[in-house]
Chains A and B, each alone.
Chain A
Amino acid sequence: MDCPKCRHPNTDAAKFCENCGAPLVRAPRFCFECGLELSDQAKFCPNCGRRQDAGEPSESDASDSQHHRRSQIERTVRSFTERGSSLLTQGLSEEARAVFESALEVINSRYGAHADDPSVSVGHARIYNGIADVHSKLGDYDTALEWLSKALDSLDGIEDTQARIERATVRQLTGWTLFRQGDMRNAAAFYCYGIIDLSENVETKTGAMLYQGLGIIFREMGDYTQARDYMERCRQIRVKLTDDVGVAIVSNNLGNLYVFTGELTVAEEHYTNSLRLSQQLNDLEGVAICNANLGYIQYENGKYDLAEDYLLTAVRMAEGKWPWIIPTCYGYLTRNNVGAGRLSQARAYLKKADEALAGKDDVPVQATLMELEALLAFHEGDRRASIHLFDEACPIMTAHIKGFHSHVFLLNFGRCILGYVADPDEASNLHLWRTKASELIGRATDGFSRIGNRKYLLACHQLLDEINRAWTT
């Protein structure tokens, strides 16, 4: 195949140009007549027998029925976008972009004359959506949003079912991109509009994505009841569609919610289900995530050795491939080893977590590592330093994290203060510290009660009782 950039002839098997290194993406060819995808060499369509060497569609095409043209456009666009998306899921963003761009070229050169045909507009929208997806995956959200708004413009005013479904897809991606930018309000609105576009067609892949999107928003807002409602709906749809990949993902999400609300058995069921599906599908990233999640559950259950096994498996699988999972895993490992009382091991894991996170701008995980540092310092006996570390992490934690994790932080902070003042050598300003501790624990109690996590609520109450007793004696 000739390189699209420098025209250097390469072998068909080559993925990159031997001369300039540009990615070689074969633009698909389609039959002018019936729209079947053709090999590079084909001169005749194996389906309908039409000759393919004429570059432009013949005059007779113009008189073709509209219906015919539509199915052709449909097929062409689908072929391109499916290939683009599959490249994108493999992490080959540049290649995917090239595919989408050539799709645009093909559609424009061949159907430019029919720009007012709704099927051309829908095709455009789908391709724009694909390009936006590439940008969104690369983290360039602004550019992604530009393409998405082009896609919506192109669908404007078309009200047939296909256009509505397409619009819902675009809105889903828009919502997701806005969410990644931290704009929950607009993200929620786009998801809502997307669901309305689908209405009775909501039981589709896109509908499931939209429900999951709203679920994630409500989870981030700390409203776990509503989040769970949406996640369950998403799961039901995916089960119905036998979309196993989707079920695996949403099961992980559901598992998280149940961990937050303290229903560990249910959470474990969801995680295990997700693990099973991911294994069947050979989705190793999914398997790694499930292992990490199951590890955390075992930590919550107090089974520290089992937790260690799961978490180390997750780390091993993620290494070199999905680096984003690793800092979290080491964070869990640290927590787990603090729980088990193996402090030197915990210290070693915390160091690895720091290394894994180095240079990355992930504030929530950073805040979590600060909390772990403080927790570890406390158990290592440097209680004064521990309190300072907690104090430093507190504003970051409360500003960036809503819900379960921030409540756990407050509880730990309060507990460490109580531990600090329990040491008679250290304790000055006893009552000030006690006031501070009861403030923190009071706040944590509020939080756990709101989300209905009884395990942690109980822990809070025990500490509050302790404080009360200390006050009365």
Chain B
Amino acid sequence: MTDQRIGKFRVIEKIAEGGMGAVFKAVVEGADGFEKVVVVKQIRGAHADEDVYVEHFRREALLAAKLNHPNIVQTYHFDKIDDGYFIEMEYIDGIDLYNLMRLSRLKDLPPPLGVSLEIAKQICRGLDYAYNLPGPDGAPLQLIHRDLDLRNIILSFDGYAKIIDFGLAKAKEAASDLSTLGGFKGKVAYAAPEQMEGGDLDGRADIYSLGCVLYELAVGRRAFDEKELRVALRKKLTGDYRHPKAVNPAMPMSLVDIIVKCLRVDPPDRFASAMELLEAIEEAEGEVGSTLSTQHYVRYIGDRMRPEEKSRIAKKIQASLIEDDFNATALTPALHTMSSSFTNAGRLLEISERYQAKAQRLLDEIGPRKARAREVAAVVATSPMDAVSRIEQEVQVLLRAVGDALKNLITTIEDSSLLDTLASEGIIPIDLATKLLTIRTLRESGMHQEIDATSLTDAVVAPAVRPDDIDSALDGYFALMDWYYTKFEWGPKLSRLYQPIGSASSSRDAAESTSAASILPMLPMMVFVEPGPCYMGATEEDTDAMDCERPIVSLSAGAYHIAAYPVTNEEYDVFLEATGRKATPVAHVPSLRHPDRPVTGVTYNDAVAYCRWLSQLTGDRYRLPTELEWEKAARGGFVVNSLDNPTPARRYPWGDRILPGRANMAGSVCGTSDIQAHPAGRSPVGCFDMIGNVWEWCGDWFDEKAYAHYASLGEYDPPRQGALKSVRGGSWYAQAYRCRCSARWGREPDNWDIDLGFRVVKEGAAT
């Protein structure tokens, strides 16, 4: 700490030395002993006409001081202290995007697409606010930033992206007009072409710059990297930049479209406003569906994490990056050809027929393997002591399969440049890529004829899976399975399959007591919902809502677990098999009977029987959710001051607006869809398909006036009797206005339908 003082500021450290002057982190000490950390920016004026220069800054700083928004760094004062001029600003505990990108390259963890989009969204909000802030006459001030770049965006460790130096660019330009002869002073790489040409600017110039920023975040390099102004201008005017798809074929087309539109030469061809861009990004998010939060990422990159937390988050980031690739695989075929998953390695080579057979063989292997995994789970549940050896055996089988898959990948890639591309574009994990490249090179030089599958596997499966006891054996096995199946497009299915079944002993007792002990249930992935308040019902503004959804009330729910997905056909079929219960009426409609899609055609009584069966076998208490539990799972509880949940009473699980790709509703698919099909429709607590796909039975009797009753009583008191049971969430067949968090109606308990299913709740606190 230094003792340097500038007026009322005690300087803590010098943060930067910029073109305008130095920037300090400082403390203001109030009379009451109150301390505030701020940033103090020195304005150095090596100009002939200093008064005019300073006057410009004063005016712009005054304007900037009016801006008060979570995504804009607050300007407090403009002061003359001794001989210098200073701007006092809010201090942000965070890191600017320039340094974020630098560090992310060092750590080899580029921002996942979801994080990049989140940052861009927040910047949009800031830009929109400044542009539309009313002036003294009530008309929008139309403030624009003019110098948006990586250094002017700070990401706080809370996950907020904040724009810095609003308006200063204008002051600089205006001032320099007086001293030097015109000329562009902004940053060549990010400025819009019309700005470089000295034309009139509006908000769309900022959109262009934000497009450059987004390009860099998502693609990993600058769109325009020329230092020379004229060269850069020419490139910008002809749109001469590497098309994102050409740099990264895996990028979803919707995101490519956004970047390309931001970077259009003519302002009218760009997004008309930051709000329009924000909407486009929200729509694109449906195809990205990352689950990693921005604050986790920035804290990790900025080294602001407890060591024990670090490795967990690093894994999460990695997973998220892989997930990006996977989403992209589903969306973009270029990736199919240059494919990240090894099954698709076959496809990559689909140009020649003979590789097809190999890919097919790999695919075929997955089927039986799954059945085997279930068997293992059964052994674990019934006789834990036998499990260790069994698992060890399975691990060996798996390891061999992984090794074979990798080996296959190497031997089938004939063009080494392709591997190069796979590696350099980060399509396959970097450690695997280098390993493969090395092996290839060795092979080409004739030094290493045999490929050792085990050594390949070790390169990828970092934690050695050498089981000593049942716990670590299970952990290792599940981790390995997880990795293997994620790679092979099994994704969420795996985790559902491998939830250890209850506690081993209790489930054994239960299993022995039933006649169908040999058939074990598939347990759904459960999400824990913390106890606490939440909203039920619709506001008066919601014109789609029916009377039975009103009024909106806030109620409190206890802790419970709820299934992340509706019960699937595959899960339900195990129940039918075990109990001999009659098949559903939709048995002859194959598109409704796909194993990964929600079961349909079940009555309330069927659903209750399913829960009872599950409870019996596991020793846990499963049942249908109450309406309160269902609605809380769909819209989340109260979370204040969190970016993840800006509006507590959300209309849809993802927010307040219908967005494409979030749910299977209003005939978008003409049937049920896979439970993994809409990752971006995830609710705040982590449930999928709450809205759309199928209506879901709840345990409560349906009463039109129930919500009014809760409101007057102030607590949850579901009807004791009735003729109808509540169903929630809308479906593929329901019209859009019925697919909302608060929408509800009732059906007779022996009804069934082509779009009616259920999900389960498990009672009790977190385990």
Contacts and interface: CB of A to CB of B under 8 A. Distances in A.
A198 interface: yes
A233 B590 contact: yes
A196 B589 contact: yes
Contacts of A233: 590
Interface stretch (A56-64, A348-356, A360-368, A437-445): A437-445
A184 B670 contact: yes
A458 B260 contact: no
A438 B243 CA distance: 8
Contacts of A468: 246
A196 B754 contact: yes
B243 A471 contact: yes
B641 interface: no
B591 A439 contact: no
Contacts of B754: 189, 192-193, 196
User: For A196, A221, A429, A438, which residue has the most chain B Cβ atoms within 10 angstroms?
Assistant: A196
A184 B667 CA distance: 7
Contacts of A449: 332-333, 336
B336 A196 contact: no
Interface string B213-247: 00000000000000000000001001111110110
Interface stretch (B19-27, B508-516, B580-588, B685-693): B580-588
A199 interface: yes
Contact of A185 (B241, B249, B256, B670): B670
A59 to B, nearest CB: 45
Given A442-B245, A443-B253, A471-B246, A226 B591 contact: yes
B239 A431 contact: yes
A258 interface: no
B467 interface: no
Contacts of B256: 439, 442
A229 B238 contact: no
Nearest to A467: B246
B243 A435 contact: yes
A199 B587 CA distance: 8
B462 interface: no
A460 B336 CA distance: 12
Interface in B362-385: none
A449 B733 CA distance: 28
A471 B592 CA distance: 47
A413 interface: no
A321 B591 CA distance: 37
A192 B246 contact: no
A208 interface: no
Contacts of A202: 588
Contact of B238 (A193, A431, A438, A454): A431
Interface residues of A, number: 46
Interface string A212-239: 0010011001000010011001000000
A455 B587 CA distance: 36
A466 to B, nearest CB: 11
Nearest to B669: A221
A435 B350 contact: no
A218 B588 contact: no
Contact of B670 (A188, A200, A434): A188
A388 interface: no
Contacts of B336: 449, 457
B331 interface: yes
Contacts of A218: 591, 670
A450 B591 contact: no
Interface string A166-203: 00000000000000000011101100110110111010
Interface residues of B, number: 41
A426 interface: no
User: For A189, A430, A434, A450, which residue has the most chain B Cβ atoms within 10 angstroms?
Assistant: A189
Contacts of A450: 333
B351 interface: yes
Interface string B253-288: 100110010000100000000000000000000000
B260 A435 contact: yes
A457 B238 CA distance: 29
B671 interface: yes
B410 interface: no
Interface in B656-673: 666-667, 669-671
User: For A226, A432, A445, which residue has the most chain B Cβ atoms within 10 angstroms?
Assistant: A445
A140 interface: no
A449 B592 CA distance: 24
Nearest to B583: A199
Nearest to B670: A188
B430 interface: no
A453 B250 CA distance: 19
Contacts of A142: none
Nearest to B252: A446
Interface of A: 184-186, 188-189, 192-193, 195-196, 198-200, 202, 207, 214, 217-218, 221, 226, 229-230, 233, 429-432, 434-435, 438-439, 442-443, 445-446, 448-450, 454, 457-458, 460-461, 464, 467-468, 471
Given A226-B671, A430-B238, A449-B333, 7 more contacts: A188-B733, A195-B589, A199-B588, A221-B670, A431-B240, A439-B260, A443-B253
24 contacts: A186-B667, A189-B733, A195-B588, A196-B585, A196-B586, A196-B589, A202-B588, A214-B589, A230-B590, A431-B241, A435-B239, A435-B260, A438-B245, A438-B246, A439-B257, A442-B334, A449-B332, A449-B336, A454-B350, A457-B337, A458-B351, A461-B337, A464-B246, A471-B246
